[in-house]
Chains A and B, each alone.
Chain A
Amino acid sequence: SQTIHQWPATLVQPVGSPLSLECTVEGTSNPNLYWYRQAAGRGLQLLFYSVGIGQISSEVPQNLSASRPQDRQFILSSKKLLLSDSGFYLCAWSVDYPHPYEQYFGPGTRLTVT
């Protein structure tokens, strides 16, 4: 069966510090991968998605970046965090077959920028 991992689960970082959040998927090949952010009390906002290794599409211009060094690994990074980067970060995956419409989410990382 497929599983998705995210770490760390929680993170407290000062403004201006770097960030690296990792997401890995097990039990599937060639997944589409996604990074979402959820601000407190709000819906999810798509930040990045990837359809293959090294292929990253950005939905929201900001000081975050994403990379996909391996088929089932997706990394969210920042060189200098802002207060507005605080939120709940969710990684998700989908496959084209048999259920292309379903996205499966990881447990999330709660980031607080102080």
Chain B
Amino acid sequence: AQKITQTQPGMFVQEKEAVTLDCTYDTSDPSYGLFWYKQPSSGEMIFLIYQGSYDQQNATEGRYSLNFQKARKSANLVISASQLGDSAMYFCAMREAPWDQGAQKLVFGQGTRLTINP
């Protein structure tokens, strides 16, 4: 079964608009973590934001925020005031406990290709 589902294969947004990228997850573990990564055309994976399952507040990092709705098992990424440089693939990922001696085993979604239009 899919553990991470990203239902938007592609999104097109005008520059300076806010954009929401959807992510739903499936786990029966009460302790887990959710991540968003950005992958530009160069291929590198850039860590954007992290949300722990016990965190009370939604995570924020600059223009990025994570809209965490635990009951719905949803962890959407919100990018405010989008920029041309935001054009990239975006991946949602999840780690489940227990960790293996500290290793973080991540499961990734299929990704959403975001294109920012000038």
Point out residues on A near B: beta carbons under 8 Å.
Answer: 32, 34, 41-46, 49-52, 57, 59, 88, 90, 92, 94, 96, 100-108, 110
Contact = CB atoms under 8 A, between A and B. Distances in A.
B92 to A, nearest CB: 9
Interface stretch (B42-50, B64-72, B75-83): B42-50
B71 to A, nearest CB: 22
Interface residues of B, number: 28
A88 B43 contact: yes
Most buried by A among B37, B43, B50, B100: B43
Contacts, number: 70
Interface of A is mostly: strand
Contacts of B16: none
Contacts of B91: 43-44
A101 B103 CA distance: 9
Given A101-B33, A101-B50, A101-B104, A42 B45 contact: no
